Amino acid sequence: MNDQADTNANHQASSSHTEDQPASTEALAWRSSRAVILFLIVAAVLLTADLLIKYYSFKDVGDYPVVIQPVDEPAPADAGAYRFTDNGKDIIINVYTDAAQPIPQSAEGITIIPHLLNLHITLNTGAVFGLGKGGRPVFIGVTAIALFVIGLFFARSKASAWAFHLGLACILAGALGNLYDRIVYSAVRDMFHLLPTTGWYPWIFNLADAALLLGVFIIIIHSYRADKPSQPQQPS
């Protein structure tokens, strides 16, 4: 009789201990096809949009189409060549017109939303807000490291952390968009000008810059919500 009671008690204790422990550890993101697909689709859509906006802005915003090419490539016969120099680094801008001039366009650019957003094409050899001009090799190296870190963070995150993955995808797209420009053109193509008539925001940026900032903001919010202690449950 005592043996049967001991067996029942041990069984109940084992069941109670099992209920206190999670049945299984949540899958990591790299093992979840849904998490991987969401991450890659968001990054691909933003990257494609960034490159398309850059292409059409430099094709249509100026008075004439503007083509940027490396210095060692010969300019087409019908192109006016303007040499853009920054800290000893030369970039050839081919303007398809008889008169060579630097990125020909009106001072206001093209109005998208009156008094709020204009398109005004320019080249930036620095980082965000034009900082670190002429530091192309450093920016490329830092971006390469950042891409590795993004992949590592994604792989080690939980499959259900979709907001975190969304933020990482935005940062990945922004980093790749500007990395492409730095490798191919030695400068980043910018075109968005906020509050153009006020002069309060003098910087010109692109979709990749906006994606980077949005991704950082999403991750900060996600981290804050994840670290916030949950409300204790009141005993019934």
Number of neighbours of residue 20 by Cβ within 10 angstroms: 7
Query: Which residue of the set 20, 78, 209, 227 is catalytic?
Result: 209
Contact 115, 195 (CB under 8 A): yes
Residue 114 one-letter amino acid: P
Instruction: Tell me if residue 3 is catalytic.
Output: no
Is 181 annotated in the active site?
no
**β-pair partners for 122:** 190
Instruction: Write out the catalytic residue numbers.
Output: 190, 209
